[in-house]
Amino acid sequence: MHARPHRPPQPSRQPLRLPRLLPHLRLEGRSRRRARPRPLYIETLVRTHPYELWRHTQDPALHQRWDLRFTEIRDLDTVPARGTTPKPEPTCGATPQPEPEPGPGAEPGREPDPESEPAAPAPGRRFRYATRPFPGLTIAGTGTTTGERLRPDGTATSALRFASAHPLSPIRYGRGYWRYVPTPDGIRFLTGYDYTPGFGGRRLGRTADRLFRPLMGWATAWSFDRLRLWLETGAAPSATLHRALAETAARTAAVAAVIAGTRSWALAAGTGVLALLLPPLPGTPSARRCLRRPPDRRAATPPETLARLEMP
């Protein structure tokens, strides 16, 4: 008789216990659903004088004319913000160079004046903003802002915090910043901001924000290009808005005419896609002309003044 070959003992196979895996999968799925949305970022290049760009973005009366997101922006403080008075600056084509540290309030080419305003960040200035999405409905909020208009590297920054207690406000509270970066081709005007959704409860707010956040980013980019046209060509914001509405109506009428005059749905669908993808006219504001992702780490980093700015 032949002896049986010796076989090593096989490890016992434990049955797969799904109850231990399912809680982990549910937690992983829940964390993926609750991941914070990406902050909004918009950037454009404006060929204008640095002071003009600063004035059109810091003056509430001028700001509300080009920003599609607001119908009213009003300063709640009687004292004007520091850093908003006219000062001589280099042209926008000059490359920013580090300057020697001047005294408080000093300007390039001018002796320090103890009576002049300092270049350090000013205390938070309070403002009120409002928008009217429908006739008879006004959603308002308040905010605080501060800015650095004369930085040693030639750039400027502005930081703000904002909040709204309106039950229908899509934004409960948030914060953001603006940067003004001179380049040989113009001024890089960029913004980054984030917020906590409103719309009542948390679950409803997060759900509604999936539609509102892309719309908010589009409105910001469209407004930035509207501001660019105002400063570069002199076209008033009201005129560019009417131009955009007229161009939209013309495209819609062209698509409707094709649908009415043909029985081919393929031709009608192709015309509609062409109307959407065709670039707007040069004098019409367009959100697609703006950058929507930060090109570098510095552009995506808020200024230090934002951390010190108080909530409204």
Q: In what order do the strands lie in the sheet with 40-46?
A: 40-46, 186-197, 171-183, 156-163, 137-148, 125-134, 72-75
Expressed in angstroms, the distance from the first to the final Cα of the chain is 95
Q: What are the backbone angles phi and psi of residue 272, rounded to the nearest 5°?
A: -65, -40
Q: What are phi and psi of 116, to 5 degrees?
A: -80, 165
> What is the C-alpha to C-alpha distance for residues 193 and 22, in angstroms, rounded to an integer?
37
Q: Residue 14: its pLDDT value, please?
A: 54
Distance CA 155, CA 7 (A): 77
- At 298 the pLDDT is 87
Residues 177/160, Cβ–Cβ less than 8 Å: yes
Condensed to tens digits (0 to 9), the pLDDT of residues 80-117 reads 444 444 444 444 444 444 433 333 333 333 333 333 33
What pLDDT score was predicted for residue 111? 34
Taking the model in full, what pTM does it have?
0.72
pLDDT at position 9 is 58
* pLDDT tens figures, 191-213: 999 998 887 667 777 888 888 99
The full 3-state SS of the chain, as one line of letters, equals CCCCCCCCCCCCCCCCCHHHHHHHHHHHHHHHHCCCCCCEEEEEEECCCHHHHHHHHHCHHHHHHHCCCCCEEEECCCCCCCCCCCCCCCCCCCCCCCCCCCCCCCCCCCCCCCCCCCCCCCCCEEEEEEEEEECCEEEEEEEEEEEECCCCCCCEEEEEEEECCCCCCCEEEEEEEEEEEEECCEEEEEEEEEEEECCCCHHHHHHHHHHHHHHHHHHHHHHHHHHHHHHHHCCCHHHHHHHHHHHHHHHHHHHHHHHHHCCCHHHHHHHHHHHHHCCCCCCCCCHHHCECCCCCCCCCCCCHHHHHCCCC
**Distance separating alpha carbons of residues 285 and 11, to the nearest angstrom:** 70
Q: Are 127 and 142 in contact (CB under 8 A)?
A: yes
Burial status of residue 57 (CB atoms within 10 A of its CB: 0-12, 13-18, 19 or more): buried
Q: How many beta carbons lie within 10 A of that of residue 82, not counting itself?
A: 19
pLDDT of residue 272: 72
Integer Cα distance of 66 and 72 in angstroms: 11
Q: Which residue numbers in the chain have pLDDT < 50?
A: 15-32, 79-122
> For residue 45, what pLDDT is reported?
97
